[in-house]
Structure 1
Amino acid sequence: METKKVLPVLFLVMFLVMVGFGIIIPVLPFLAEKVGGSPTELGILMAVYSLMQLFFAPMWGRISDRIGRKPVMLIGIAGLALSFFIMAMADSLWVLFVARIVGGILSSANMPTTMAYVADITTPEERGKGMGIIGAATGLGFVFGPAIGGIFSKVSLNMPFYIAGIFSIITFFLVIVLVKESLSVEKRVKRSDKKASMWKAFQGPVSIIFILQLIITLSMAGLETTFAYFAAQRAGIGTVQLGYIFMIMGFGSAIVQGGLVGPMTKKYGEGAVIRVGVIVSAIGFILILFSHSFWTSAAFLTIFGLGNGVIRPAISSLLTKNSTSGHGSATGLLSSFDSFGRIAGPPIGGALYSVSIGLPYISGAILSIFALVLYQIYHVKNRKINMVV
């Protein structure tokens, strides 16, 4: 299997998946309100999706180690399509909850399985490049998806969900036609004989990497939750300008993931990329405190995005290189920690913001420093083990 031919296909698949997911983001709150949902119920509706991913991503990762990546990817994409069409036809709040729960359970197969697929087809030297390309596809999907959703919402609130479902169906057939299985039968049989817990991946020094991802996601989710209020108060920025700011950050993050992560990890290693990413993120957190206009807000948030953007691909690459469990088990558990950060981050960020509007960003910088220390601990422990071996 030629990596150069497969990676563009995976890029297209994940881009379309994330465009479909992003389409519904600006519309879901209004649809929930239309069917009688309160702001509190909307918050629960948004959180339940991540909660399902928290529990089910490791399961799908392990299943992909046993039966192969392609069938699990198809399950995840079909789950997204199903959830979108259910939401499009929803006439009550409980139907929306069913759609989000079903979507969360099934679509949690997408990210860990795609990451595992990349790990299967890339050499250790090219691993960072592959993970970066998937990260770039994810970022660009989130840039274009909400814009498409906003446009079609002018037709009706239901239309964006139908469009998202159609995107998912197209992606489903693209995977059937273009994506070949990456995990050989021999490796599947070997792994299916192992009845280990999903926590097998969470052993030894590599367990620190999972906690590192949790901290990074936690601080980022807190920023995403509060930045709109912060920018409005400090710089008088409205929703349209805010959309442009996040679009600029998304493009910047996608560029560094798709273009820089590969060469940087190949030349300097994942560890150096993680360190640089964490340091740049910390600088971004501090600079955001000095935002006073559209351009300063855009520049400082983009600096944060550039740093944060390189961390996840580098962590995924490092993890699949060093984990002793299957690639799917490792990436599935990583997605679970990522989901936990997305669940806990918004309420924590909101609580900090209510104390002081700059506190989410000060705490983000502190957490970044803590993440840097954690990585150093991992590096020392892993080096000692390699020296013994």
Structure 2
Amino acid sequence: MKKANFLSLLFAVMFLVMSGFGIIIPVLPFLAEEVGATPTQLGLLMATYSLMQLLFAPFWGQMSDRYGRKPILFIGIAGLSLSFFLFAVSKTLTMLFIARIIGGMLSAATIPTAMAYVADVTTPQERGKAMGAIGAATGLGFIFGPAIGGIFSKINLHIPFFISGTLSAVTACLVLLFLKESLTKEKQPATLKTKEPIWYILKGPLLFLYLLQWLITFSLAGLEATFAYYAAKRAELYSSQLGYIFMIMGLASAIVQGGLIGKLIQKFGEGRVIQGGIVVSAVGFALILFVHNFLTAAIFLSIFGIGNGVIRPCVSSLVTKHISSGQGRATGLLSSFDSLGRIIGPPIAGQMFTTMIELPYLAGIVLSCFALILYHVFAKQLQQVSS
């Protein structure tokens, strides 16, 4: 099987995984309510998953460097399937927390291992485009999954979890049967023979790329947590309309990641695309302040989504290009920085919104400026190391 076929299979795998994950998004709050969870307990239930991802993504990335990408990717998807089936049969809040913890711990293997797989099978010139394609698959899964979940939840709240579990189980079988191992013994990183801690990666210029990714995710998570309330107050938009708005935003982002990012990187390089994405994101944050109806919300949020969407693939590409060895360790750590942003972004943005409804988006502009500074520090330090 050719490299392009393996990447296509990986694209399909990530789309199916994220579709399965997305199916439960609109359903989980109602299932939690059914077993007697309070809003605070629901928040803890949501945060538990991100916390497990934060703690375990570097571990699984390192395991993929040691034992190969295929078995770790299989563990991640099979673990996700198990957690969905546990959700489907859960009748107590304790069971929901157990399912969420298991899902977070095991599924933390999925994204960093997929990114490391891409780094294994692509040249530096191809990498940004391939990372963008995987990002597009992830985004499309999050678009279609919630729509499917919303439809089947009308029949029974437990059905979407059975669907997600089955979809993930089928995907795990696809990985086991058809995905070829990308990490040969010759490619195994030299770091396996050393006792370097994983945090050693952060000693050099890459620290500033990781911090940049954290800021970008932090501001995105803050927007996702508050925009529904903001749109309701500013434009009287509610759940069904917001669903369409986020779908339009996701499609715009996925189209750019899947179709244009390769050409942009080829013409400008990852660094300029990252800087352009940050600027476009900042413009999107500013425009959100002027939302007054469905059309402006869809357009302005899509502008933000396009800018935000090109940053992660380019950061992933640069990290894997500039790490001397251990792609899994590097991508796992990057996933942890993402999770950290998703854990602390929503509560801080919520507090800002309570103070002043425009504050999360004004803060997003400021954070975008800091992200630009971080990129320039990274580039300057990298130049000094190289010279």
- TM-score, L = length of structure 1: 0.98
Cα deviation 1:89-127 (Å, max 9, x = unaligned): 000000000000000000000000000000000000000
Aligned to 2:94: 94
Q: Distance in 2 between matches of 1:322 and 1:189?
A: 14
**Matching of residue 350 in structure 1 with residue 356 in structure 2:** no
Q: Which amino acid in 1 is paired with 2:280?
A: V
Q: CA deviation at 1:200?
A: 2.0
Q: Which amino acid in 2 is paired with 1:298?
A: A
Q: Which amino acid in 1 is paired with 2:42?
A: L
Q: CA deviation at 1:176?
A: 1.3
Per the alignment, in what secondary structure is the counterpart of residue 186 of structure 1?
A: helix
**Matching of residue 165 in structure 1 with residue 162 in structure 2:** no
Per the alignment, in what secondary structure is the counterpart of residue 157 of structure 1?
A: coil
Q: Which amino acid in 1 is paired with 2:78?
A: A
Q: CA deviation at 1:178?
A: 1.8
**Matching of residue 128 in structure 1 with residue 134 in structure 2:** no
Matches within 5 A, 1:6-85: 6-85=6-85
Aligned to 2:276: 276
Aligned to 1:192: 192
Q: CA deviation at 1:189?
A: 7.2
Q: Distance in 1 between matches of 2:30 and 2:198?
A: 38
Contact kept in structure 2, 1:129 and 1:262, CA below 8 Å = yes
Structure 2, unmatched stretches of 5+, are none
Per the alignment, in what secondary structure is the counterpart of residue 72 of structure 1?
A: helix
Contact kept in structure 2, 1:13 and 1:171, CA below 8 Å = yes
Contact kept in structure 1, 2:13 and 2:175, CA below 8 Å = yes
Q: Distance in 1 between matches of 2:196 and 2:325?
A: 9
Contact kept in structure 1, 2:190 and 2:326, CA below 8 Å = no
Which stretches of structure 1, 4 residues or more, deviate above 3 A after TM superposition? none
Matches within 5 A, 1:121-160: 121-160=121-160
Q: Distance in 2 between matches of 1:264 and 1:174?
A: 32
Aligned to 1:255: 255
Per the alignment, in what secondary structure is the counterpart of residue 260 of structure 1?
A: helix
Q: CA deviation at 1:6?
A: 1.4
Contact kept in structure 2, 1:76 and 1:106, CA below 8 Å = yes
Q: CA deviation at 1:203?
A: 2.0
Q: Which amino acid in 2 is paired with 1:61?
A: G
Q: Which amino acid in 1 is paired with 2:255?
A: I
Matches within 5 A, 1:201-216: 201-216=201-216
Structure 1, unmatched stretches of 5+, are none
Q: CA deviation at 1:300?
A: 0.2
Q: CA deviation at 1:191?
A: 4.2
Q: Distance in 2 between matches of 1:11 and 1:279?
A: 28
Aligned to 1:364: 364
Q: Distance in 2 between matches of 1:191 and 1:5?
A: 30
Cα deviation 1:258-287 (Å, max 9, x = unaligned): 011111112211101100000000000000
Q: Distance in 2 between matches of 1:225 and 1:137?
A: 23
Matches within 5 A, 1:325-336: 325-336=325-336
Per the alignment, in what secondary structure is the counterpart of residue 123 of structure 2?
A: coil
**Matching of residue 244 in structure 1 with residue 259 in structure 2:** no
The share of aligned pairs that are identical, in percent, is 61
Cα deviation 1:319-377 (Å, max 9, x = unaligned): 00001241000000000000000000000110000010000000001100110011011
Q: CA deviation at 1:3?
A: 2.4
Q: CA deviation at 1:190?
A: 4.1
Q: Which amino acid in 1 is paired with 2:27?
A: V
Q: Which amino acid in 1 is paired with 2:269?
A: G
Tell me whether 75-84 or 263-272 shows the greater mean CA deviation.
Answer: 263-272
Contact kept in structure 2, 1:319 and 1:330, CA below 8 Å = yes
Per the alignment, in what secondary structure is the counterpart of residue 25 of structure 1?
A: coil
Per the alignment, in what secondary structure is the counterpart of residue 126 of structure 1?
A: helix
Aligned to 1:290: 290
Change (3 A) 1:270 1:352: same
Q: CA deviation at 1:188?
A: 2.7
Q: Which amino acid in 1 is paired with 2:197?
A: S
Contact kept in structure 2, 1:200 and 1:325, CA below 8 Å = no
Aligned length: 387
Q: Which amino acid in 1 is paired with 2:155?
A: V
Q: Distance in 1 between matches of 2:90 and 2:70?
A: 30
Q: Distance in 1 between matches of 2:46 and 2:212?
A: 24
Q: Distance in 1 between matches of 2:303 and 2:3?
A: 31
Tell me whether 143-152 or 177-186 shows the greater mean CA deviation.
Answer: 177-186
**Matching of residue 104 in structure 1 with residue 104 in structure 2:** yes
Q: Distance in 2 between matches of 1:338 and 1:324?
A: 22
Q: Distance in 2 between matches of 1:194 and 1:260?
A: 40
Q: Distance in 1 between matches of 2:49 and 2:190?
A: 33
Contact kept in structure 1, 2:72 and 2:109, CA below 8 Å = yes
Tell me whether 105-114 or 322-331 shows the greater mean CA deviation.
Answer: 322-331
Per the alignment, in what secondary structure is the counterpart of residue 37 of structure 1?
A: coil
Q: Distance in 1 between matches of 2:2 and 2:195?
A: 32
Contact kept in structure 2, 1:66 and 1:191, CA below 8 Å = no
Contact kept in structure 1, 2:190 and 2:325, CA below 8 Å = no
Q: Distance in 2 between matches of 1:264 and 1:189?
A: 30
Contact kept in structure 2, 1:201 and 1:324, CA below 8 Å = no
